[in-house]
Every structure is written in structure tokens, then in C-alpha cells.
A and B are shown apart, each in its own frame.
Chain A
Amino acid sequence: MKRFEPAIEWALFSCAALSVATTAGIILVLAVETWEFLRAVPLLDFLFGTEWTPLFATPRFGVLPLVVGTLLVSSIAMLVALPFGLLSAIYLSEYARPGVRRGVKPVLEVLAGVPTVVYGYFALLFVTPLLQRVIPGLAGFNALGPGIVMGIMILPLVSSLSEDAMQGVPRGLREGSYALGATKMQTSLKVVVPAAFSGITAAFILAVSRAIGETMIVAIAAGQQPRLTGNPLVPIETMTAYIVQVSLGDTPQGTLEYRTIFAVGMLLFLGTFVLNLISAWLRERYREEYS
């Protein structure tokens, strides 16, 4: 039996090392096609061009409209997910009795586990028509509806990570605050939340990263019209929705149009990668603070 031990360890190590190969694979695949793309389109034209019409007869490759569309929808999602997620985290961590927490947390997990294509349906055929009754000028495809739904989708992530951070704050801090006569609200907002600040920020950043990379909700409900606008009421297109749009068509491999999805993907990957790194670093920091 002893003879096999090194072989087994080596095999298990290869499994673990495969994850590094995955990262390398992602970077390589994106880099090769992006490199080819950038040989035809100058980097500055790509990053700062204000027109995105790669499938037109006279193609323009300025990615800004897609970036702005992505940021617009993500900002709306964050306006929903951050305050609501934080408030529900405060409630669950500081106010709720254990029975309530045990009941609510699985339901939030279900909310997080619903496939995104279902949320897309919900945004297009329930939330947008509902909003159209209140906002007359709202187009059938828009940034507002999917933004709100995306916020609902991300809320459980914000809530559960923030709650974890708050649970990590030592009891003594709360007791000190109560001893000084503070109410639960004062303790939550002025002691617990600041003490858990780096953990909560980490949750927020991870949520932003999720919103930027979210695909199906926007592909279904936000439209396919790349335009440089901050208006949430008109159709737009996000980076992810563009990748879906091209994938659904029959763009031949090796053409410039085909390579655009890798260039856009590269931008998306780099953006979310930086956010994920910052978030992981912050989480590491709060873990050190109270342990």
C-alpha cells in the first residue's frame, strides 16, 4: 500500500493544479483572439470610440456604448441590492430571533439559486410592464427593469456576505455600546457596521462584479441597441448581451466580427478579475482583524 502513496498524492495534486490551467486557458484563449482583433482595430479606437456597430456594412469598433450600458444596468442593480441587502443583513444579524433566521435564510438561498434566464423572463414580462404603468415613456426593452431584477438577484449575495461579516464582530463591542445606553439601531449603525466595514465592502465589490458579468437578464430584457446614454428608459446593450447576440448568429470563425466577442470578453474578464481580487483582499483583512 505504501508504494502507491506518492502516486496518489501526485494525482490529487494534478486535480488541484487543473484549476490553474483553467485560469491560464481563459487568459490564453482571450488574449490570442484579442491580439488578432487589436491588429485590425487600434487599442485606443476600441477603448474610447463612441460607436459600436461591428455587424454593420461600415463597422465601427468603439466599445464605450457597451461599457456604459453595462455600468448603467449594474448601477441600477446596485442601487437596489446595496441598501436592501445591507438592511436585511442588519435585520438578520442584529434583530431577528434565531427561529426567524433559520426560516428566512433558506428562502434567500432559493432566491440566489433561481436560474438567471428565469429572472430575464420576470424582468421582460412582469417588471417592465408593471413599470410601464407608472412611467409612460418606458420602452419594452430598457435598462431599468432588468437593473431592478438584477438587484433582486444579487441581494441574497450582499445580504449573506454582509451578515457573515457582522457576525464576525465580537460581542464585546456590542455590549460596550449597549452599556453606554445605545439602542440596537445606534449599535448596529455606529458600532457593528463600521467594525464589519471591510467585510461589507468586500461583499459590495463582489456584488458589482456579479452584476457586470450577469448575462441572461440583460440579454432578454435590456435590448440589443448599443448606445451611449445614461437614460434607463430606452433600449441599450451590455457587453455580455453583445456576446450572446453574436453567438446566436452565424458569424464565421476567423472574421473580425467573431473576434469582437473575445475582445469584449477580455475587457469583461479584466474588469471582474480586478474587482474579485480587491474583494478577496478585503475579506482576508477583516478575517485578520477579529481572529
Chain B
Amino acid sequence: MISGTARRRAQDLAFQTVALLVLCLALGALAALIIDVWQDGASRLSLDFVRGFPSRRAEQAGIWHALMGSVSVIAVTTVIAVPLGVGAAIYLEEYGTRSRAAKLIEINITNLAAVPSIIYGLLGLGLFVRMLAMGRSVMAGGATLALLALPVVILSTREALRAVPMSLREGSYALGATKWQTIWNQVIPVAMPGILTGLILALSRAIGETAPLITIGAVTFVSFAPDSLWSPFTVLPIQIFNWVSRPQVEFQANAAAGIIILLLLLLTMNALAIWLRDRYQKRGLL
């Protein structure tokens, strides 16, 4: 009997060790990725690389056009996705919680969040580029990514709204406020840190998207920064893809350097999200 217990204990310890090892392996993969990219690309990092334009010679090529493309596209995405997403979330969380239409919309949004991003690219190609004749422009790209980001914005905003205590709303109603006054003056300010965090995370995901923008025809050899909503554009992930696809090692080093910049950009946005959350929390709103 005692030997049985000892055996089971040993089994348990072995199982725990294996599980821990697996977890470490996953974290190790992340470390390997970062170290690999850094080793390949760090030597290419310079101010000239950030401010440079594409070139046939790898050592002269830069990413300014792509960086500006990413910034313009995300700006369009933000302007479209944020009001629509937050509005939809407010409706679903504060107004239509019991209606059948709201239930349907909810199921639909969960589903949309899991649709592959390249399908959004085909939608953007058919709807924005062709039907609405926006061409392969910043506007079409931003609108496509906005549709892609919407479900994420809605889901995270709803979560933030749900965390606001009911008593706050009831207090506001008791003072005679209307529903919208309550939402605007009480609920949204309290939910703000959560909403902002969700928005930034959704947008940082959109910045890293490549496939939908390739599908709508964002070109890989644009050599200037976009100067209007209707100019053709490329974005940082597509420029990286373009360089990875070339056989020369020099261009692959450029890809690695581009990846470092992209990861730094995402890291900054995530840090901003955390900072915003902390700042609001310190003001005692939550």
C-alpha cells in the first residue's frame, strides 16, 4: 500500500515536471524568436534605415514609406472602428440585452471575431476596392482593417462596460438622469480605462496584419509615403514580407530589422495601454 502511494507520488511529480517543461518550451520559443530576429537584424538598425526608402540595394533600403503607410492606414481604421465599435458595444450592453435581435447580433459578432483575416481581405477587395471604387488606397485598406478590428473592439468594450457596478447607474437614474445621460456621464468615464486598453490592443493587432492588405492589393513596391487618403500604400508587415521572400541574405537582414521596429512599435502600444489603465485607476475612478 505504501509503495503504491510512493509510486503515485512519483508519477505526480513526473507529470508536473513534464507539464512545467512544456510551458518553459513555449516561453523558450518566444525567446528563440526574439534572439534570432535580433541577431539577424540588429546590425541594420539605424536612423537611415528608419528614414530610408526602398532600394534595389539592400544596404540602402529603408522603411519610412512603409512606416508612414502603416500609420495612415491605422489612423483611418481608428476613426472608423472606434466610434462604431464602442457604439455597438454600448447598445448591446446597455440597451438591447434582452431583445432577440441583440442575441442574434451577439452570436454574429463572436463568429466574425473568428473569421480568418484573409477573408476580410476578399471582402475589402470586392466591396471597397471594386464596388465602392476606392481603388487600392489608404482608405480601402483602413476600412478593411476597421471591419476586421470591429468585433475585437466590441467584445473588449462590452467587457469594460460590464465591469461598471449597477449601483452607479441606479444612483444616476434616482437623481433623474435619462438613460443616455447616465451612460455618457457615469458609465463611460468609469469604464474608460478598460475601453482604452481594449482599443489599443485591437489596433495593435491591426498594425501587424498582413494578409488582408495583400489581398486588397496593397502594393509591395510603393516607394513613397502616402500623401492622401486615396494614394496607394504599403505597410510595414508587407515590406517585411517582401524582403523575407527574397533569396539574398542582405534583404533578409532588412526583414529582421523591420521586424524589430514592428515589435518595438507593438511593445510601445502595449506599454501605453498599461500606463493608461494605471493612470485612470490611480485617479480613483475604478
Contacts and interface: CB of A to CB of B under 8 A. Distances in A.
Interface in B76-103: 83-85, 87-88, 90-92, 95-96, 101-102
B118 A124 contact: no
Given A113-B204, A244-B215, A122 B122 contact: no
B32 A126 contact: yes
Contact of A118 (B33, B85, B245): B33
A114 B180 contact: no
Interface of B: 8-9, 11-12, 15-16, 18-20, 22-23, 25-27, 29-30, 32-33, 36-37, 40, 83-85, 87-88, 90-92, 95-96, 101-102, 104-105, 107-112, 114-123, 125-127, 130, 147, 150-151, 154, 178-181, 201, 204-205, 207-211, 214-217, 220, 237, 240-241, 244-245, 252, 255-256, 259, 262-263, 266, 270
- Which of A16, A185, A188 counts the most B-chain CB atoms under 10 A from its CB? A16
A15 B84 contact: yes
A269 B114 contact: no
A186 interface: yes
A288 interface: no
A121 interface: yes
Given A125-B252, A213-B118, 8 more contacts: A13-B96, A15-B91, A17-B101, A111-B27, A121-B244, A220-B245, A243-B211, A265-B118
Interface of A is mostly: helix
A19 B122 contact: no
Interface of A: 1-2, 4-5, 8-9, 11-20, 22-23, 25-26, 29-30, 32-33, 83-84, 87-88, 90-92, 95, 104, 107-108, 110-111, 113-122, 124-126, 152, 155-156, 159, 183-186, 188, 206, 209-210, 212-216, 219-220, 240, 243-244, 247-248, 253, 261-262, 265, 268-269, 272-273, 276-277, 279-280
B90 A12 contact: yes
A156 B26 CA distance: 9
A5 B118 contact: no
A15 B88 contact: yes
A19 B88 contact: yes
Nearest to A277: B111
A268 B116 CA distance: 8
Contacts of B252: 125
A213 B123 contact: no
Contact of B23 (A88, A126, A277): A88
Contacts of B151: 19
A26 B111 contact: no
B240 A121 contact: yes
A210 B11 CA distance: 34
Nearest to B218: A247
Given A22-B147, A155-B26, A184 B181 contact: no
A126 to B, nearest CB: 5
Contacts of B104: 20
B109 to A, nearest CB: 5
Nearest to B111: A276
B16 A23 contact: no
B241 A23 contact: no
B160 to A, nearest CB: 16
B267 to A, nearest CB: 9
Contacts of B205: 113
Contacts of B209: 115
A-B complex: 8 closest residue pairs judged by Cβ atoms: A213-B116, A115-B208, A15-B87, A29-B126, A12-B91, A91-B19, A215-B211, A16-B88
Given A244-B214, A247-B217, A22 B20 contact: no
Contact of A126 (B33, B83, B215): B33
B214 A247 contact: yes
B262 to A, nearest CB: 6
B258 to A, nearest CB: 9
